[in-house]
Amino acid sequence: MNQATTSSQTLGADLRALRKARGLTLTDMAETLGRSVGWLSQVERDLSEPSIIDLRHMARTLGVSVSMLFSHAPAPTHEAGYVVRNGARRPIGSGEAGLVE
């Protein structure tokens, strides 16, 4: 098993949770995206990786920002469960690619 499938929080798991929270079936979402149910099922099981365009469409369908779909590093133990004020937030992303939030 690869590391992505052993992680408790994966893109696929997040997508499945968001889809279910919005009351969408695999068929509903696949039709909205113009994709097959099989493809979407594979994405949710982390067997297939969606393109950035697919991620944009999924985010729009689910009513979230694309950045919400990317994994985040866990907070240090001393920060877990605390609100982090805007000025104290750690940046996420890659400065090399120009994608820092």
- Ordered by start, the domain boundaries in the chain are 3-100
Specify the pLDDT at position 91.
66
Q: What fold, for 3-100?
A: 434 Repressor (Amino-terminal Domain) (1.10.260)
* Per-residue model confidence as pLDDT tens digits over 46-101: 999 999 999 999 999 999 888 888 766 666 676 666 666 677 766 666 556 556 55
Q: Residue 5: pLDDT above 60?
A: no
Count of all residues that appear for the chain in the document: 101
What is the helix, strand, coil percentage profile of the chain, to 5?
50, 5, 45
Q: Do residues 61 and 18 touch, judged by C-beta distance below 8 A?
A: no
Q: Say whether pLDDT at 33 is over 90.
A: yes
